[in-house]
Structure 1
Amino acid sequence: MTDWNSSDLEKIATAEELDLASERSNGTLRDPVTMWVVRSGDRLYVRSVKGTGGPWYEGAQARHQGRIEAGGVRRDVTFQEADREEYRGVDAAYREKYGRCTTIVEHVLTERARAATLRLEPR
């Protein structure tokens, strides 16, 4: 696993949204999907509101690789399923960053969304 450099970590974490393009089995990138991104500790996370059956999540599982862009940073990444122990910190990060969107933020705090939590690791 490669760690994020502090500059990229901060820029991505403070960006309002992130564009995620997962890699197909032939190595080409799918069209990017715009979503929320949060930081917990020195790690970055995204979640699928539709759970593991969400189209972009299923695409990310094809090769567990893709590209993200946020805060002026573009990086190739690996998608790692988060451990259940990470959910509490990720939940808190979503509440802190997006809590002003009270009717929307609750959708990323459901058990279905938690089960589709991915940690973004630079490659």
Structure 2
Amino acid sequence: MSDWNSAELAAIDADGELRVAAHRPDGTLRTPRIVWHVVVDDHLYIRSVRGTDGAWYRGVQRTGTGQIDSGGIRTDVTFVRDDSHDDAIDAAYRAKYGDGSAVDHITAPAARATTLRVEPA
């Protein structure tokens, strides 16, 4: 595992959306899906607004690897389940995206159960 450099993380964080595509078992990429993302304590996090039923999330669970594209950064990544910062992640989602119903969904228990830390491969 390597860490994001500060320029990469800042570029990704500044973008409002992130495209995520999981690797299939044969190494090819699934169709990218747009998700919301936040940075907390110098780590990148994403969640499935549909909880474990989200198609992209199910794909990520199969291999644990994929690719992201955001802020001009396209790179291979690994996905690590991490619920250690859920309250801070909720606050970061509210700060970045506001207090509307979409944020209520991404901070709901079903979405919190899918919190993934995204690490460069």
TM over 0.5: yes
Q: How many residues align?
A: 121
Whole-Å separation in 1 of the counterparts to 2:9 and 2:54:
26
- Residues 1:17 and 2:24 are matched in the alignment: no
Instruction: For residues 27-83 of structure 1, give each alpha carbon's deviation from its aligned partner in whole angstroms, at most 9, with x where no partner exists.
Output: 100010011111111000110011112111000011100000001111110000013
2:41, 2:94 → 1: CA distance? 15
Task: Report the RMSD for the aligned CA atoms in angstroms.
Answer: 0.9
Return the alpha-carbon distance in structure 2 between the equivalents of residues 17 and 24 of structure 1. 22
For 2:104, the equivalent position in structure 1 comes to 106
Alignment of 1:75-86 (within 5 A): 75-83=75-83, 85-86=84-85
**Structure 2 residues not aligned, in runs of 5+:** none
TM-score scaled by length of structure 2: 0.96
Q: 2:56 is paired with a residue of what secondary structure?
A: helix
Secondary structure at 2:117 match in 1: strand
Quote how far apart the aligned CAs of 1:107 are: 0.5
Counterpart residue identity of residue 98, structure 1: Y
TM-score, normalised with respect to structure 1? 0.95
- Name segments (4+ residues, structure 1) moved above 4 Å: none
What 5-or-longer segments of structure 1 have no aligned partner?
none
